[in-house]
Amino acid sequence: MPKHEAMTPKAIANRIKAKGLQKLRWYCQMCNKQCRDQNGFKCHLTSESHQRQLLLFAENSKKFVYDFSREFESGYLDILRRQHGTKRVHCNMIYQEYIKDRNHVHMNSTRWYTLTGFVQYLGRAGICKIDNTEKGWYIQYIDREEEQRKERMAKKQKMDVDDEQKIMEMIMKQAQKALEAKLKDDSLENDEEEQEVKEFKKPEDYKIEFKLPKLSTNDQSSKKVLESGSAFVDIEDSSKRRKIRDEEDSPSTSKRSSLSNNSAKKSSLDEIMEMEEMRKEKTNRKDYWLFENTVVKILTKKLGEDYYKKKGIIEKVEYRSVAYVRLLEKDTRVGDLLKIDQNYLETVIPALGKKVLIVNGAYRGSKATLEKLDERNFSVSVRINDGLLKDRVVDNVKYEDILNNVRRSNPNFPFTNVIFSFFASKIRLENHVKDINALCRAQTMMKARLKGAQKGHSLLKRKADALNFRFRQILSKIIENKVLMGDIMKQAAFSLAEAKFTAGDFGHMILQNVNKAQVKVKSRKDNVAGVTLPIFESYQDGPDSYDMTGLGRGGANIAKMKKMYNKAVELLVELATLQTCFVTLDEAIKLTNRRVNAIEYVIIPRLERTISYIITELDELEREEFFRLKKVQKKKKRDREEKEKRLKERGAVLSSVPESSIFDQSDDVPILFN
């Protein structure tokens, strides 16, 4: 049906309808789409986009309902707080203002079915004050921010008062200390005045010495004058002695202050250096430590016993943690090139005085000389040989942070001749010459692996299909049993009520007489495509001990109740089996799908690329061989023509000999069996 022309009444009406609100029953909250009529809404429900949104909602319905409820509550409270503040208003008035926004969250998508339920929730949560009147529910917003501001102001005032009290207490303590010191000085002065003047007595062999002080009255001279044996020291004025005593105290104080300043300066410098070292250590400490032209040791037996604990030189580093290691000549497997991860390698410590390379830590990448070996702490001391830190000695360098650095005459090698396996495969390269037999063997090996990978992929795919089929069966049974469980439990509860009504309360009698469980559960295992599933079964152990219960009255109702509860227990056990199998199969399906994807998108493409690379190399070798043979044939032909020309010039007649070709399909003359 074509659209109406612009500016026609129908087109204007359609635009007005598109701008305003439409009917709520034709609105889809998940797709955020408003339909105009029932037909449009029905078409939307069958659309692919709506089905995708429903699948997303089915995966985590609680999360979507929670998000919608939170958005609705936030928008409603924003209008209430900003437009009305703490005034008492009708709840429907706020709701009408909220739904004026065309893109608002509808209430039927939240956890509240009615506006009354939402208002009651606000009252229970303490967000608003609510009251129910004849006109409906009224709400009043509780401003928590004002209370928080008052609490912050009260806390700040209390902190200010506490600070003032602390300052006053500190001033009072200082004044008390000053008063005590003054009283102590006064007592010392009184003691000195009360001292008696004693006669100076000197030994017979005592020498009297006089030392004149220098013009500059420094601290040491005054100290020496006091320490000299003068006869007039004891009769000096007490004030002068106190002055000299103060002068004696001053140099020691200045000396201590200078020493403390020096130590502070020194400790600050040390602290700065330590911080710089820590920064460099944190920056340069990496998870990978491989460098080219360094010696390492192989620590894995997966490559074979011939390579275990053998040393080699790293010729190339790939992806930071994968090394191409060529074995050293002193080992048994000379020239073998291995591709191996750093987790299977170990650093090699050279002899003292040898060159090393720091591969991790603060001095990463620096060349150094090994100075000292500390076997107790598994560390070494090295001297830096290059850079701004040349000749610096670094202690406590761990074993794994240095490597033996070597210099090779010809570090380059043809990487195109190396074929890599899934772990660290190898091909022996002798004198860097392409080996056709090795390439053919590698091609055969890779084709076998590709065939095995394809077969494994098909088996895992069939296993995944079988698990998915069983998974869907279990899911349908779970849904069916849960629906049935509600009916069974309802009938069992109703039968229990009937039995109690007719026979009275018989629960205490059964609880007193019970001595063992009559209904028990046993388990067995089931195998589905290699996945073990637990199966639970209920059974009755022994005869019914309470078959005579209710003989006087209510026997039929009690028997019916037993039957219903036995059926409920069986259904519960079956439901437990289905739930356990559901969880187990879910994990197994995820693991199988990951393996299928890994083989399909990683292993098989990698093997196919390797095989295509080998085929390309073989084709190149074949072309080179063909070109070489053509050159040889051409050279032989040219030599023969030159020989014929020389014989013709000498006058000799050369018999015509047919030209032979190495590509002829003629049969060879048998030599051994002639």
> Which has the minimum average pLDDT: 310-319, 501-510, 529-538?
501-510
Instruction: With a cut of 50, say whether residue 217 has pLDDT above it.
Output: no
Counting Cα atoms < 13 Å in the Cβ hemisphere of 352 gives 6
Helix axes 144-193, 238-284, angle to 10 degrees: 140
- Of 127-131, 348-352, 398-402, 408-412, highest mean pLDDT: 127-131
State how far the Cα of 119 lies from the Cα of 117, in Å rounded to an integer: 5
Same domain for 458 and 605?
Answer: yes
Mean pLDDT for 567-571 is 87
Structural domain tally of the chain?
4
Within a domain: 667: no
280 and 298 part of one domain: no
Strand-pair partners of 523: 536
Residue 317 lies in a domain: yes
- Angle 556-562-563 (CA atoms, 0-180°, nearest 5)? 90
> Would 222 be classed as within a structural domain?
no
pLDDT confidence of 201, banded at 50, 70, 90?
Answer: low
Residue 224: its pLDDT value, please?
Answer: 44
Residues 529 and 626 in one domain: yes
pLDDT, mean of residues 488-500? 81
Residue 73: predicted pLDDT: 92
Query: Per the domain annotation, does 10 fall within a domain?
Result: no
Domain, as residue range, for 252: 240-284
For the chain, report the end-to-end CA distance as a whole number of angstroms: 96
- According to DSSP, the β-strands at 531-540 and 519-528 are antiparallel
Please report whether residue 316 resides in a domain: yes
Q: What is the pLDDT of residues 330-369, one digit of tens each?
A: 545 556 788 888 888 888 888 888 888 888 888 888 888 8
Name the band, by pLDDT with cuts 50, 70 and 90, for residue 671. very low
Express the helix, strand and coil content of the chain in percent, nearest 5 each: 55, 15, 30
Mean pLDDT of 241-253: 49
Question: Are residues 418 and 457 located together in one domain of the fold?
Answer: no
Same domain, 460 and 522: yes
Does residue 298 surpass a pLDDT of 80? yes
Q: Which of 452, 459, 464, 458 is nearest to 592 (CA)?
A: 464
| Same domain (yes/no): 279, 295 | no
Domain end marker among 146, 167, 198:
146
Q: Is the pLDDT of residue 643 over 60?
A: yes
CA distance 68 to 72: 6
Q: What are phi and psi of 314, to 5 degrees?
A: -75, 115
Q: Give the span between the Cα atoms of 229 and 243, in whole angstroms.
A: 19
**Residue 298 CB coordination number (10 Å):** 22
Q: What are phi and psi of 398, to 5 degrees?
A: -65, 155
Other Cβ atoms closer than 10 A to 357: 21
Quick one: 22 and 129 in the same domain?
A: yes
Q: Which amino acid is at 441?
A: R
Q: State residue 241's pLDDT score.
A: 53
Give CA–CA dist 557/564, Å, rounded: 10
Residue 171 lies in a domain: no
Mean per-residue pLDDT, 253-258: 45
User: If DSSP codes are grouped into helix, strand and coil, which group holds residue 576?
Assistant: helix
pLDDT of 570 reads 87
Per residue in 414-461, pLDDT tens? 333 333 333 333 333 333 344 677 778 888 888 898 889 889 988 988
pLDDT band at 205 (very low <50, low <70, confident <90, very high): low
* CA-to-CA dists, residue 341 to 287, 318, 363, 415, angstroms: 12, 10, 23, 17
pLDDT tier, 410 (very low <50, low <70, confident <90, very high otherwise): very low
Q: What is the CATH number of the domain that holds 355?
A: 2.30.30.30
| pLDDT of 612 strictly over 60 | yes
Total residue length of the chain: 674
| Beta bridge pairs of residue 357 | 367, 403
Instruction: Compute the C-alpha angle 370/349/284, nearest 5°.
Output: 75
Contact (Cβ atoms closer than 8 angstroms) between residue 135 and residue 56: no
Residues 485 and 608 in one domain: yes
pLDDT at 148 over 90: no
Give every CB contact of residue 110 below 8 A, 6+ residues apart in sequence: 65, 68, 69, 72, 118
Q: Give the whole-angstrom CA distance, residue 118 versus residue 91.
A: 10
Total Cβ atoms within 10 A of residue 438: 16
Same domain, 333 and 428: yes
Last residue of a domain, one of 403, 433, 463: 433
**Beta-strand pair 337-341/322-327:** antiparallel
For 253-277, b/e burial (b = at least 16 CB within 10 A) is eeeeeeeeeeeeeeeeeeeeeeeee
Q: CA-CA distance, 423 to 343, in Å (whole number)?
A: 12
Q: Domain boundary at 146, 173, 199, which?
A: 146
Whether 302 and 274 map to the same domain: the answer is: no
**Same domain for 497 and 590:** yes
> Bigger pLDDT: 111 or 239?
111
> CA 584 to CA 288: how far, in whole Å?
38
Question: What Rg value do the Cα atoms of the chain yield, rounded?
Answer: 50
660: confidence class by pLDDT, cuts 50, 70, 90? low
Q: Is the pLDDT of residue 486 over 70?
A: yes
pLDDT at 411 over 80: no
- Does residue 609 lie in a domain region? yes
- Residue 55 is encoded by which pair of tokens? 């699948």
Report how far residue 533's alpha carbon sits from residue 520's, in angstroms, rounded to the nearest whole number: 20
Is residue 90 scored above 90 in pLDDT? yes
> If you average pLDDT over residues 168-185, what whole number do you get?
83
Backbone angles phi, psi at 471, to 5 degrees: -60, -45
What integer best gives the mean pLDDT of the chain? 76
Q: Is residue 323 part of a domain?
A: yes
Q: Tokens 């600070």 — which residue?
A: 163
3 state SS of 335? coil
The pLDDT value recorded for residue 497 is: 78
Half-sphere exposure of 664 (CA within 13 A, CB side): 9
Which class for 118: exposed (0-12), middle (13-18), buried (19 or more C-beta within 10 A)? buried
Find the mean pLDDT for residues 597-621: 88
**Quick one: 277 and 312 in the same domain?**
no
The CATH number for 67's domain is: 1.10.10.2030
